[in-house]
Amino acid sequence: MRLTSIVKTASLIMATTALGAMALPAMADIKIGSSLSQTGPASFLGDPEAKTLTMLVDELNAAGGINGEKIELVMYDDAADANKARTFATRMVEDDEVVAVIGGSTTGTTMAMIPVFEEAGIPFISLAGAVVIIDPVKKWVFKTPHTDLMACGKIYEDLKKRGLTKVGLISGTGGFGQSMHEQCLSIAGDYGIDIVADETYGPKDADMTPQLTKIGATEGLQAVVNPGFGQGPAIVTRNFAQLNIGVPLYQSHGVASKSFIDLAGEAAEGVRLPASALLVADLLPDSDPQKAVVVGYRDAYEAATGSDVSTFGGHAYDAFKILVAAIERAGSDDPAAIRDEIEKTSGFMGTAGVVNMSATDHLGLDLTAFRMLEIRDGDWTIVAD
Amino acid sequence: MSEFLQFFFSGITVGAVYALVALGFIIIYNSSGVVNFAQGEFVMLGGMSTVFIHALGAPLFAAALAAILITAAVGVALNKLAIEPARGASVVALIIITIGASIFLRGVAQIVFDKKIHRFPSFSGDAPFEIGGATILPQSLWIIGGALAVFFALYLFFTRTLTGKAVLATANNKLAARLVGINTNFVMTLSFALSAAIGALAGVLVTPVTLTSYDVGIALALKGFAAAILGGMGSPFGALVGGLLVGLIEAMTAGYISSEYKEAVAFLVILVVLFVMPHGIFGRTKLDRV
Amino acid sequence: MARLSPRAATLIALAAIALLAPLLFPSSFYYRIGALIFINGLSVIGLVILVGFAGQVSLGHAGFAGIGAYTCALAPVHVGLHPALAMVLGAAISAVVAWLVGRPILRLSGHFLAVATLGFGILVYMVLNNESWLTGGPDGIAVADIGLRDLLRDYDIKVTASQLWYWLGAAALLVGAFLALNLQNSPTGRALRSLHDSEVAARTIGIDVARMKLTAFVVSAVYTSVAGSMLAMMNRFVTPDIAGFMHSVELLTMTVLGGAGAVFGGFVGASILTALPQLLTVFEEYENLLLGVIMMLVMIFLREGLVPSIARRLRRGGSK
């Protein structure tokens, strides 16, 4: 009796599994995969990224697709969990049989997926920040956002220009904050920057005044840099104003969306951060070659979703446009041909700047498109070079 | 000295938040023996509902009141739909039911609201008070005052009102309470409503300082749970002290030792306290009935 | 037909599922899901011993998965140990840690034990997350290849990583189930189950309650640690999330969902909660909401877990 009940239960499970397989959508012309962190601790990255991809795919299919073939987007939510991302990567390769993948909202999920695509030979464009994704160069892996290393460089350049060298760091212990914290420490010497204080906070912390009090009491402090994203930087900025520390505060490109200004309120006045031109689309002179791209994407995104544009969605925009152009040039949906064409991307104007990829550079961005912004009167302004 | 004072202000502000969550925990625990892991979601619902009702044009006060009522209704629904039908289930099963409820509420919130981080204005502005070289925000005083007010209200409720005594009687011995004519079902419903309302109030008070989003609940629930356990998982006084202690330990660790391990130190202290006092600081030793 | 013992029935059923399931796989991706089910199942068998047999709660077991996984990541790099041997080392470390931690905290009961184990899990997570010079921090760390596929390739056997780990996972699960079933029927197992019913009663009949609980805790820690190691080796990458609170909750839910009282129940729980998120992807943003509802419904209406509840219903139906 017992055995039969066990067998019955077992066949039930197998039936469910098989049923799940049948429920999958039928085939389409060109299949592009995507695993993003639409929920979970990195949802403020994954959410605009996913919305951007959906919008662009609809747009492209309405216009007739690529070389007459429609695109099907297979999208999964990995909730920033590396193990889930790894499973979805396998699913996209072995079950959905996609020809290319965009995604990995976070460095952790990206790094977990890379071995799958490297082995299967599927081109993969990551939307995550850390420099380890493309350095050393991996054959099938590309990425679109500026690296955390570049953000530190941009901030230090600005500090040097202002004659400030004694810097306090307050970093989030999330992946973004820790990775950028390390990069900022590693290149401080190159810019003649002295890190005089070094504190951290947890991603869900409610109050950072103890850490900021310590930093504020450090002798000779001239500026504070806050690598991190999510709600932490907004609270840091508010606490910073509350304690009236009285030195310039720098945020990272991780807070580059309008909601940061809303959350930090008046405390955000005078805060500087490196960011792409997307946030200041209207402030660009008409002669700026980037203006048409960033204004176009911003208007389309805000019309389609009803929410403010962020640089994170912009990374997805860049990745999708680079991929589509590569598929067009390749003239086929062969993953190897697509990979070769992505690597040949040159002179592409995206939201993050001009992309010139090569066999040794799978990012292709330089510091020029990275702007130093300052918040004044509740809005972004460009700091003159 | 001014440094110490600053750490202290930070500690009691954050501690008051934990205390409010812990107070919510113990009300439900006292009346039903359930540790409600969805308590953090009540805080989230309070904050997020206020944000969205306020955005619809309602004045902040009215939005907050509506948010507290909505959350209280959610608490009642949780009791009626998930806890009452599961009467007699094991401790583990109840833990999983409430964790399931918390995942469910988070899932609903991400659809009904959104996945962004929100805030609404502080009640009395953002200009900090300066005391002895340290600063404290007016909103922090609101939070601390809120925690104290809830504590006193609960204290009076449990000692001075018949309904409150009925809750305590139910906590002590459900069967005996029923025998003397207490409607234990009503007591359960009442405590879920009360606990959810306190959670929502916490959400309303803290959002201007800590910000809110659909997923703030889980971290708050863990800290509030730890605080409640530290305080003995019984009396409102224990919850208040437990919350303030966890907050102060975190702030002092961040200030004097290492900001990286401030949470670790808080949990270490809880472990050590439990080794020495297995029922928390103010907990009573219960005898097992055989 | 000769009546099979429950022990043999469970083992035969598990082996049959492992052997026959691939016949139904529409693509090789399903080997990955199968492998995840077996590896999670191994963890869950450990928790069946702790929760189902001994009646103790743990909200921090993922901590042991973290210890197992990171030993596999770090020992090959720093000590030059082969990852497979690192798995054994990880299990040993987990056993020692479980013994040290378990001695004081297992005196606690119910929710106090829950919060103590929760604290332990959070401490492990924080160390893995914060000590990035060693662990790579929240962005995770790569794990060395065990080299088995290269070895097989030399014999002209080509398997995908998912297929290899499907069979390794199945083997590990069967060994784990065999050991757990033997324990269940041993004097120690009977002593453990007497704790579950009443600690006081167990004590009066002369059972060393503290030692029994500690045994269950250490054994379950080893199971979870080995599963953590296998997960790390299969993914060849690991992040601190493996030791996170949500992973502990996931493991505990798997244990109770299928029916904590028996090894097969644990396996069913692991199967469902591993496969479910893959099925729920079609519901997109309703995924989390549905997961929460399913957890609540099963615990309310089938509170002993799926397998015992369904089995009883079938039995009742059959005897009519």
pLDDT (tens digit per residue) in C273-302:
999 888 888 777 788 888 899 889 988 888
Q: What is the pLDDT of residue A27?
A: 42
CB nearest to B255's CB, from A41, A213, A259: A213
Q: Which domain holds residue A269?
A: 148-275
**Chain C residue closest in CA terms to B83:** C300
Q: Is residue B92 included in any domain, yes or no?
A: yes
Q: Report CA-CA distances (Å) from A234 to A159, A260, C260.
A: 21, 6, 45
| C289 contacts chain B (CB < 8 A) | yes
pLDDT tens digits for B179-235? 888 888 888 899 999 999 999 999 999 999 999 999 899 889 888 988 988 888 778
d(CA C208, CA C186): 16
Q: Is residue C17 included in any domain, yes or no?
A: no
3-state helix, strand, coil in chain B (%, to 5): 75, 5, 25
pLDDT tens digits for A280-292? 888 888 888 889 9
Q: What is the pLDDT of residue B279?
A: 76
Closest by CA to B234, choosing from B15, B37, B33, is B33
Q: Mutate which of A207, A208, A242 to disrupt the B interface (most B C-beta within 10 Å)?
A: A207
Q: Is residue B44 included in any domain, yes or no?
A: yes
Residue A1 has pLDDT above 50, yes or no: no
> Do both A37 and A128 map to the same domain?
yes
- Distance (Å) from the alpha carbon of A320 to chain C's nearest alpha carbon: 21
Q: Is residue A382 included in any domain, yes or no?
A: no
Q: Is residue B151 included in any domain, yes or no?
A: yes
Sign of CA pseudo-dihedral A343, A345, A347, A353: negative
Q: What is the pLDDT of residue C14?
A: 92
Q: Is residue B201 included in any domain, yes or no?
A: yes
CB nearest to A20's CB, from C132, C275, C310: C275
Residues from chain A that touch C29, judged by Cβ atoms under 8 A, are 90-91, 93-95
Q: What is the pLDDT of residue A385?
A: 67
* Mean pLDDT computed over every residue of chain B: 89
> Do both A91 and A188 map to the same domain?
no
Q: Mutate which of C109, C303, C306 to disrupt the B interface (most B C-beta within 10 Å)?
A: C303
> Do both A99 and A57 map to the same domain?
yes
Q: Mutate which of C289, C294, C297, C309 to disrupt the B interface (most B C-beta within 10 Å)?
A: C289
How many structural domains is chain C composed of?
1
User: Which domain CATH number covers B235?
Assistant: 1.10.3470
User: Which domain CATH number covers A152?
Assistant: 3.40.50.2300
- Of A163-177, B254-268, C38-52, the one with minimum mean pLDDT is B254-268
Q: What is the pLDDT of residue B286?
A: 53
Q: Which domain holds residue C249?
A: 29-319
> Do both A226 and A131 map to the same domain?
no
Q: What is the pLDDT of residue A361?
A: 94
| C57 contacts chain B (CB < 8 A) | yes
**Chain C residue closest in CA terms to A22:** C26
pLDDT tens digits for A80-108? 999 999 999 999 999 999 999 998 899 99
Q: Do B271 and C120 touch (CB under 8 A)?
A: yes
pLDDT tens digits for C203-216? 888 888 888 889 99
Residue keyed to tokens 């805790």: C217
Percent of chain A with pLDDT over 70: 92
Contacts of C230 (CB under 8 A, 6+ apart): C39, C42, C87, C165, C168, C169, C172
**Chain A residue closest in CA terms to B107:** A39
Q: Which domain holds residue B75?
A: 2-276
CB nearest to A209's CB, from B10, B206, B211: B10
> Do both A136 and A250 map to the same domain?
no
Mean pLDDT score, A134-163: 93
Q: Is residue A175 included in any domain, yes or no?
A: yes
Residue A166 has pLDDT above 80, yes or no: yes
CB nearest to C26's CB, from A3, A21, A39: A21
Q: What is the pLDDT of residue B115?
A: 84
Q: Do A17 and C130 touch (CB under 8 A)?
A: no
Residue A12 has pLDDT above 70, yes or no: no
Mean pLDDT score, C87-91: 96
Q: Do B35 and C114 touch (CB under 8 A)?
A: yes
Question: Which positions 168-207 of C are in contact with B (Cβ < 8 Å)?
Answer: 198-201
Q: Is residue C278 included in any domain, yes or no?
A: yes
Q: Do C279 and A23 touch (CB under 8 A)?
A: yes
Residue B67 has pLDDT above 80, yes or no: yes
User: Side-chain half-sphere of B162: how many Cα atoms within 13 Å?
Assistant: 4
Q: Is residue A4 included in any domain, yes or no?
A: no
pLDDT tens digits for B11-38? 999 999 999 999 999 899 888 888 899 9
> Do both A86 and A198 map to the same domain?
no
Q: Is residue A185 included in any domain, yes or no?
A: yes
> Do both A34 and A117 map to the same domain?
yes
How many structural domains is chain A composed of?
2
Q: Is residue C117 included in any domain, yes or no?
A: yes
The encoded tokens of residue B132 equal: 């002895």
- H helix or E strand, kind and range, residue A336: helix A335-343
Amino acid sitting at position A98: V
> Do both A163 and A242 map to the same domain?
yes
Mean pLDDT score, A50-64: 94
> Do both A107 and A119 map to the same domain?
yes
Q: Is residue B287 included in any domain, yes or no?
A: no
Q: Do B267 and C119 touch (CB under 8 A)?
A: yes
Residues from chain B that touch C252, judged by Cβ atoms under 8 A, are 92, 95-96
Q: What is the pLDDT of residue A14?
A: 52
Would you tell me how many other CB atoms lie within 10 Å of the CB of residue A303? 9
Burial of residue A270, with CB atoms counted within 10 A of its CB: 0-12 exposed, 13-18 middle, 19 or more buried: exposed
Q: What is the pLDDT of residue C16?
A: 92
Question: Which positions 32-71 of A are in contact with B (Cβ < 8 Å)?
Answer: 38-41, 43-44, 47
Would you tell me how many other CB atoms lie within 10 Å of the CB of residue A63? 8
Number of H helices, E strands in chain A: 12, 14
> Do both A249 and A319 map to the same domain?
no
d(CA B227, CA B238): 9
Q: How confident is the model at residue A215 (pLDDT cuts 50, 70, 90)?
A: very high
How many structural domains is chain B composed of?
1
